[in-house]
Every structure is written in C-alpha cells, then in structure tokens.
Amino acid sequence: MITRRHQWVRKLTARSHRPRPLSSLLALAAGLSMLMPGYGNAQQSPTAGPAGAAEAAGQIADFFSKVGDQIYDDCIFELSPEQIEVQQSLIKAYIAKGASSIVARRLAVQQIHPPKLSERCEKIRQLPKSGPIELAPEPPPAKKPDTITAKLPAPTPPSHSTLASKKVLPQWDCAPGVDYVTIQHKGFPRKLTGGEICSPFADVVRQVPDRLQQFRLGYTIRTGRIFVIADDPQLHGQTIAWAISGREVCRNNPDPDCLAARAIGPLPPGKYAFTSAQRVTWGPTIKRNVVGIRLTKLWDRDRFSPGQTAAILARGNIAIHERLKGEMSEACLGLEPKGWAYVASIIKAGRATGVDVYIDEPYPQVAENPPIVVASSFSLTSLFK
C-alpha cells in the first residue's frame, strides 16, 4: 500500500520542477530528527555499536510512521495547482517566443515560487542540534463555507463564449513598454510579465488605530480597495489594503456575467459573515491560512437577470487569503503578503466583524487611488541569453 509518506519520499527524489538547495534539505532532515524522543541520547553514544544503530533506525522509522503525514502537511510545500499550471504554460510561451527549452524552464522555475514554510515548520528548521520538542496539535480543517439557497431558476453561468467577448479592464492590462508573454489558463488568455500578472497591487497597508475596537471591512469590486466601516467619522472609509478578486477578463470586473461566473468572476456585492468562529483557519487544499466568508444578503439585485441571480447565489467557497506570485483569484479576496498578514490579524483578534462588498466606490471623498504596479524588470531578451 502506497501511503502519503511514500509519495512524499518519491516527490523529494523525483521533483524536477522546483530544485531545492542540498543544504536546505539536510537542515530540514536534521531538524525533523530532533523531534524524535531519545534521538540526542542515541547519537551521543559512540560505543553503541550495530545494536545501537539499529535501535536508532527503528526509532526513526517509528517516528515517521506516527507523524509522517503531519510533517508532509506542514513542511513539504508544493506549488499551488494554479502555480503549476501557470509555470508549465510559461515554459510553452517562452519556447514559442524563441527561447531554448533549458532557458524557458530555468526562467519559469525562478519566477514562480511556492508558499513560505509554515510557522510550525520554521520551528522545526530552526531547532538546535539536540533535544526533542513536541509537535503542536494538528490545526482543524477549514470548514467549507455555507451557500445561500433560494427558490430560483437553475443556475446558468455564462459560457466561455459569452465571456470571450469581454476584455480585461484597461487598468489591469500591461502598461505600455512592459514586456509580457500570453498564456492560456482554463480557456482564457492571461498576460504575464516575469511570471507575475500585469499591474498587480503594491503591498500597501494602512493600519487601523487601536482605539477602534470593532468595525466591518468594506471592499470595492471595481477598485480592489479594502476599507473601514465604522461609526467613527474620522476612520469611516479609511483604506486598509488592496485585494484582487476574480481572474482574467473578470478581474475586479463587476459585469453581471462575471459576477455570475463561478471560478472566474469576483465576489458578488452584498453583506458577508465569517464562516467559522475560529476566523483564520488552515486551508488544506491550498496549504495556507484563509478566512472563509459567506454571502448573507445579495445587493444590487436589479442589475441581474433571474438566471444570473441564481448563479450568483449558488457560488460558494469564498475566502480571504494571501495571493501567491502568478495566481489571480476565484471570487476570493487575494492580498499581497503584508496586506494579508495585517487583515488576518485584525480578523483573528475579533476587531473586524464582517465584510460589506460594493460594486462602486461608496466613499470617493476619502478613497485612495489603487497602488497599481505598472513597471516590470522582465525583458524578452532574457529568453535568448
């Protein structure tokens, strides 16, 4: 029977899409061995002989049989499914532009990075040379967000042909003078420059003063702005961070067809509640922390046909999380690393109590312009070096 641990070993030996420095693997292996009770005593006995070595080997085998799956979950990170698809598409796009296979693969590997190690794995990696530690309890799996049910016609999400007639909103397209290659992802074109989507948000964070203990988060679909909703007139509408929602032609696009498109469109307008009392939970599928949210009231219903309304209400699995390089978003709010860390902290602390989502900017008098990154260091000449 092939277990996840066997698969893990195979991945370590056969992985070619993301090379790891040998020193990192050795350090991880050494750190993992520190977890085993009695390991320090076994290695400090030079006279133990073959019997001692066999005993130590048995202890290691027993240790991995008990916590191997946990180590796999916490410490062996792969690229996300979307990142793998984008990386492979990048290779094809670079080769189509005239790059050699070697150069294309090298650039794609350099440009698409896996998630950072979890805090638990970082503790393992930073262990001293001796002494065991105890693993913290396994984080509970993320609860799947509930979906709203309504007696409406069966959902009829827009077809690819309907969305194919739409174009990426100008503010999200590549700026003039920026080199890019175009890949196909799930049937839609995506422009990438150096492995990153065109015109991402800068990682801007505006912290909310501590005096404001509780407030709701606001989000504007068209601009990507996250802001404060509170009774305090001095803080009401204040920008917190910026987040992408939706992918390809539907990226931050409040077109009704996009809002009704599952896995393509941005999150719909309305009032959202957190799906779990724990708020910040572990997402086992994407192997990162997420905040699940669910739609409790749909706004702007007059904009949608009955079929679009039914499709919107049938959408689920909406969350707030960190956006990794090369990724976009499937209805979720994807923040840059610093923005995610801060927003997650105020949600976990109970200061943020829910999310209100608007199509257009509700507070233009205090809104900031989106901090869009229009420049890129990627050059097509890198394909021929």
Residue 133 forms part of a structural domain: no
Residue 207 shares a structural domain with residue 354: yes
Burial call 330-346: b when 16+ CB within 10 Å, e when fewer: bbbbbbbeebbebbbeb
Q: Report d(CA 12, CA 19) in Å as an integer.
A: 10
Q: Based on the structure, what is the number of domains in the chain?
A: 2
Could you tell me the residue range of the domain that residue 215 belongs to? Answer: 201-358
- Alpha-carbon distance of 365 to 351, in angstroms, equals 24
pLDDT in tens, the chain (385 residues): 444 444 544 444 334 344 444 344 444 444 544 444 444 444 444 455 666 666 766 666 665 555 555 555 556 557 888 899 999 999 999 999 999 999 999 999 999 987 666 676 766 666 554 444 344 454 555 554 444 433 444 445 555 667 878 889 999 999 999 999 999 998 899 999 999 999 999 999 999 999 999 999 999 999 999 999 999 999 999 999 999 999 999 999 999 999 999 889 999 999 999 998 888 988 766 678 899 999 999 999 999 999 999 999 998 889 999 999 889 988 899 999 999 999 999 999 999 999 999 999 999 999 999 999 999 999 999 998 7
**Spatial separation of the C-alpha atoms in residues 335 and 292, rounded to whole Å:** 14
**Cα Rg, the chain, nearest whole Å:** 24
Q: What DSSP character marks residue 76?
A: -
Q: Report if residue 100 sits inside a domain.
A: no
Residues whose CB is less than 8 angstroms from the CB of residue 11 and which lie 6 or more positions away in sequence, other chains included: 76, 78
DSSP per position, 301-338: GGGS-HHHHHHHHT---EEEEEPPTT---SSSEEE-HH
Do residue 246 and residue 120 come from a single domain?
Answer: no
Q: Evaluate whether residue 338 is within a structural domain.
A: yes
74/209 same-domain check: no
Let me know whether 214 and 342 are in one domain. Answer: yes
Same domain? 121 vs 208: no
pLDDT digits (tens, 9 = 90+) for 367-381: 999 999 999 999 999
* Side chain identity, residue 119: E
Say whether both 119 and 234 belong to one domain. Answer: no
Return the CATH number at 239: 2.40.440.10
Is residue 334 in some structural domain? yes
Q: Is residue 171 part of a domain?
A: no
Residue 253 lies in a domain: yes
Q: What does pTM read for this prediction?
A: 0.74
User: Quick one: 119 and 239 in the same domain?
Assistant: no
- Looking at the fold, whether 334 and 245 belong to one and the same domain comes out as yes
Which among 347, 310, 313, 307 has a CA at the least distance from the CA of 162? 307
Q: Could you tell me if 206 and 349 lie in one domain?
A: yes
| Pair of tokens at residue 49 | 């002989």
Query: What is the C-alpha separation between 117 and 303, in angstroms, rounded?
Result: 43
**Last residue of a domain, which of 125, 156, 189?**
125
